[in-house]
Amino acid sequence: MESILVLTHADETGEALTKASLEAVTAGKELSARLNASLTIGIVAVDATAANSLASSGARLLAVTGEAFAQPRYASDAAALQSLTRAANATIVLAPASSRFARVAAGVAHRLGGFIDTHITAIGGTETVEATRWFYRQRVEAVLTRDARPWFLLLDPGTHAAFAGQPAPAQIEQVAVQLPAPRTTVNGLRAPAQGAQTIRPDAKLLFVAGAGWTKKQPDGQIHITEAGELILGFLQHSGASLGSSKSLVDQGGEGEPVLPFLTHMNQIGQTGATPRHAKGLSTCCHGEEPHVVGWRFIGSRRAISLDPNCGWTRGKADVVYIADAFQVMAKVNAQLEATKS
């Protein structure tokens, strides 16, 4: 009989669990119901406040709390997850693939003599655990089973609905952790200003900018400043996340005109990211396969391109506007502004 543990952690406020943690809770509840197995949820946070959102989960709640767990740190987080897994006697451990847990989970699995698989998108099976993930940049989907226990599964964010139970004072069991002498002190957090952050994983829409924005336009000129204003204006009005083609983000290194707010972190595709958004709008991008493979998890796809023979028109988008993106986005921004005022 399996014993399932879901590992969760608090967000930066310390008072709530992260969305990805709550998604892992949903996955754990579904799996334990299917296998008729026990479910435990482990919480890592500065105090037990965040556990209140799990009061109605029906699971046993274990918590590791204290000032040492207010901030991510390899040594303290690894020790916390190790203690939680031991206390739960877990055979299957589900955890969100957050930056906090992704960096420690493999080490913890190793310390416990277990095994880990990452980028899990679905968990199936009624007799045994079947974990699904994609390989070769989302081209091949595989279903994995393993005999090794404890088996750690890191769940990709956005693959499950977040657990949303009625918050109430939760019954938790504190788990003691033997901490090694600390070698790392967290002095604080430095993050880009809210408006400067263009990668928004929770946005409904992905807006992709391609190299066309910086190329000579029909008047024989480049319009880089206007391109930047149109793109940032749209992001501001729509709250969309900003993606880019490889050609556009590579241009900086080639000494060509660049959009200063784009980095390789924005790149979508085979050698970039594969984000999950309900909708996507591609602009000034040709829609070549190495780029479009990063759109695997975009629900509904639209593109604006001057080229009627671009990759998008060849079956890669649901709707393609053969139009000048400068003109289209200027009108869209004007309409969004008018709607707001």
Ligand X SMILES: Cc1cc2nc3c(=O)[nH]c(=O)nc-3n(C[C@H](O)[C@H](O)[C@H](O)COP(=O)(O)OP(=O)(O)OC[C@H]3O[C@@H](n4cnc5c(N)ncnc54)[C@H](O)[C@@H]3O)c2cc1C
Q: Which of 96, 150, 269, 275 binds ligand X (CB under 6 A)?
A: 269
| Closer CB to ligand X, 111 or 137, in the complex | 137
Phi, psi angles (nearest 5°) of residue 32: -65, -35
In the bound state with ligand X, the residue whose beta carbon lies nearer, of 83 and 217, is 217
Phi, psi angles (nearest 5°) of residue 169: -60, 125
**H or E stretch at 62:** strand 60-65
Look at the block and give the residue holding tokens 């200063």: 260
Q: Is 243 in the site for ligand X (CB under 6 A)?
A: no
For the window 199-238, what string marks contact with ligand X as x by the rule CB under 6 A? Answer: -----------xxx--x-x---------------------
Q: How far apart are CA 113 and CA 151, in angstroms?
A: 9
Q: Which stretch binds ligand X (CB under 6 A): 27-35, 77-85, 91-99, 305-313?
A: 305-313
For position 324 contacting ligand X by CB under 6 A, the verdict is yes
Binding ligand X (rule: CB under 6 A), the pick from 9, 119, 291, 301 is 291
Instruction: State in angstroms the smallest separation of the CB of 65 from ligand X.
Output: 41
As measured in angstroms, the least distance from the Cβ of 155 to ligand X is: 23
Q: Does 275 bind ligand X (CB under 6 A)?
A: no
The closest of 175, 168, 173 to 54, measured between CA atoms, is 168
| Residue 269 burial (CB count, 10 A) | 21
Q: Which is nearer to ligand X, 151 or 312 (CB)?
A: 312
Site of tokens 């949820």? 41
Nearest distance from residue 28's CB to ligand X, in Å? Answer: 33
Residue 141 C-beta: closest distance to ligand X, Å: 19
**74-88 and 99-111 helices, crossing angle to 10°:** 60
Q: Least Å distance between CB 325 and ligand X?
A: 4
Read off φ and ψ for residue 162, nearest 5 degrees. -75, 135
Residue 254 DSSP one-character state: G
Do residues 273 and 294 lie in contact, with contact meaning Cβ atoms separated by under 8 Å? yes
Among 129, 158, 159, 171, residue whose Cα is nearest residue 5: 129
Applying CB under 6 A, which part among 34-42, 52-60, 83-91, 324-332 lies near ligand X? 324-332
Task: Enumerate binding residues for ligand X (CB under 6 A).
Answer: 210-212, 215, 217, 245-248, 267-272, 284-286, 288, 290-291, 294, 304-307, 310, 324-326
